[in-house]
Structure 1
Amino acid sequence: MTVGTDDGARLWAARSPGDGDPLVLCHGGPGLWDMFGDMAELLAGVTPVVRWDQRGCGRSERVDGPWTSDRFVADLEAVRRHFGLERMTLLGHSWGAQLALSHALAHPERVSALVYVSGIGIGPDADWQGAFHENLRARLVEHPERLARWRELGDRPVRTQDEERERSVLQWSAEFEDRERALEHAGRMADPWFGINHACSGALNDERMRTWGTPELYAACRSLDVPVLIIDGARDLRPRTAVDSLERALPRVRRVILPDAGHLPWVEDPEGFRAALRPGRAGSGRESPA
């Protein structure tokens, strides 16, 4: 179905069957699209979910921005209103975790709970980016032929969509701890392939570098009166210590670390992920289940 925004952009959205208020999902990127098919299946019979493609991405209308967090927060508000939700439980993954947190900070009265999955915390990029690139190279080095092809495609000034997809799958395969199934998992992320919106990605990443890690952001998180559940895969390429900045700032937080999962923990530890989401368990404390 199509969700209209206040500036006329049209967003793709879908709600799975089920009773009760849905869990609203915010996909990663920026510049990508909803890849939550596995999660929707995992949560079938537990809770309905709302999935949507962010502005200018995936199945949503191709528009020329604007590419700002404020605009994307407003788009998420349009999704909330479209589905008639007075308040919503948000689940954001990676960049989507940043978006969901930004929405909760802007509209805490409209968020009943926040699930923050595989984010990067609220500190500056120096907290995680160098280690991420080092870990990415280390994972790709395990398969020299993949690394060579990834570098070859990256050096091309222009890539076809097929080449763009191939390079993304090679890079995404490094995100999984299960090395035997890594390419399979990454291939599912790229099926279907909608093309990366690089203008969106570049603008929002630049904005994060200017606005994340500020005293104002830390103060806002310290005042957030919303229960937050942080879920991490311990084997994420982004160091999980970066998320400590957010955990320390939030007054109502619980954190679950899944030891054998990478950046997409619901794929590699579905039972642990579903257990972490059990109703009433977000709020306080920290655990690292075995």
Structure 2
Amino acid sequence: MRNWLRHISIPLCILLLLGSCTYTRPFTDASGRAIPGSIAQMEVLQIGGVNQSVWFRGRDTAAPALILLHGGPGASEAALFRHYNAALEDYFLVVYWEQRGAGRSYHGNIARESMTIEQIEQDLDELVDLVRNRFEKERVILLGHSWGTILGTRYAHVHPEKVAAYVGIAQIADFAEGEQISLQWALAQAKAHDNQRALNALQSIAPVPLSVSQELELGRWVEHFGGSLRAGLNTGKLIWAALRTDEANLVDLWKFGAGNQFSLRALRPQYSQVNLTTIRRFQVPIVFMLGRHDWHVPAVLASAYFQAINAPCKQLIWFENSAHNPPFEEPDTFIRTMVEEVLPLVHTCSPVLE
């Protein structure tokens, strides 16, 4: 999902740009009137001194608040969650946050030195308090995907008093070890498929990626061999899925690419060294959702990490037909899991605060 622009022709880009606008549809009854207690708003909020894009959507604002922590870094997935998982809004108050430097929260004047894991965690804390105060919530649910699991794991560990549950999709464990495993898997696939072009590219990266460009090259081959997208999906299809939502247009496509590159280059020196496996004790419910075929962020490492975690309640859920993106590869199963597994857990397994 990192190089969207190469999939769109210039004439079609112009047509889409001229003919598109964004808004988010209200929740209405059969008569077309807004449902009392619902919310459907796209806002720009000052968070950490920077304008950041936050969407609030829910059929009932009294429902548990669910804050989405997208992947990347810098890869806004708000439109994708809206396209594939809008049904979540019937059960949760969903907060779609485009993080500092991502999507519509990307601005050319963002200071690169402000792009740190610690600063984005401070942004998250500010957003959590905003949601808690505005909607009168004691705690929120955090749902992290890929890079977002770094933020979610660390935040749930440090601020259990504000977190009702943490859900990690494509959970990162030890990032550096994960890249090594991912590269070895891709090399094995290249050999098995007798793909010399892939072998040449991947061998030039060995023993591990050392730059953003090498990381992206590895990601392209992992996707090629089915280690990041399954169920007939590819990057191009995800692009069109996002652009078919009311909330996204070609401006978002450009912002996605620019913000993704900016965030990756600013943050790689930090996230490439992250090892979450040293964080083992949690005071909140922990749920991992892993794609059985995920070799982009190897699920085998996340599974091992899960076994070492101590939490008041914990659950590991496998998506057998998914790789790195279960919410988009198996959307019905993902929504059902959120409603039937995570939601009851929030009500029955309270955080154990010390």
How far 1:30 moved relative to its partner?
Answer: 0.8
Partners of 1:3 and 1:79 within 8 A in 2: no
Partners of 2:83 and 2:241 within 8 A in 1: no
- Written as runs of structure 1 = structure 2, the 5 A alignment for 1:167-246 is 174=226, 175-178=228-231, 180-188=232-240, 191=243, 192-193=252-253, 194-195=256-257, 196-212=259-275, 218=278, 220-222=279-281, 224-237=282-295, 238-243=297-302, 244-246=304-306
Counterpart position of 2:119: 71
- Written as runs of structure 1 = structure 2, the 5 A alignment for 1:5-16 is 5-6=47-48, 8-16=49-57
TM-score (ref. length: structure 1) = 0.76
- Number of matched pairs: 262
Q: 1:256 to 1:212 in 2, by over 3 A?
A: same
Q: 1:26 to 1:269 in 2, by over 3 A?
A: same
Counterpart position of 2:330: 269
Letter of the structure 2 residue corresponding to residue 125 of structure 1 = A
CA separation in 2, counterparts of 1:71 and 1:109? Answer: 20
**Where in structure 1 are there 5+ consecutive unaligned residues?**
152-158, 160-166, 285-290
TM-score (ref. length: structure 2) = 0.64
Q: 1:186 to 1:131 in 2, by over 3 A?
A: farther
Deviations 1:118-156 (A, max 9, x none): 1122x3512x212223445648x9797x979x99xxxxx
Relative to its length, the structure with more helix (as a share) is 2
Aligned to 1:32, what secondary structure does the other structure show? Answer: coil
Counterpart position of 1:280: 344
Partners of 1:4 and 1:78 within 8 A in 2: no
1:32 to 75, 94, 107: 75
Counterpart position of 2:183: 133
Letter of the structure 2 residue corresponding to residue 88 of structure 1 = V
- RMSD of the TM alignment (CA)? 3.4
Counterpart position of 1:96: 148
Partners of 1:69 and 1:102 within 8 A in 2: no
Identity %: 23
Deviates more, 1:199-208 or 1:20-29: 199-208
Partners of 2:58 and 2:91 within 8 A in 1: no
Partners of 2:140 and 2:164 within 8 A in 1: yes
Deviations 1:58-88 (A, max 9, x none): 1014212412221111111222233324311
Structure of higher RCO (CA pairs closer than 8 Å, 6+ residues apart)? 2
Larger Rg: 2
CA separation in 2, counterparts of 1:249 and 1:17? Answer: 32
**Where in structure 2 are there 5+ consecutive unaligned residues?**
1-42, 203-212, 244-251, 350-354
CA separation in 2, counterparts of 1:91 and 1:29? Answer: 14
Partners of 2:83 and 2:242 within 8 A in 1: no
Deviates more, 1:190-199 or 1:168-177: 168-177
Q: 1:183 to 1:32 in 2, by over 3 A?
A: closer
How far 1:39 moved relative to its partner?
Answer: 4.5
How far 1:99 moved relative to its partner?
Answer: 1.0
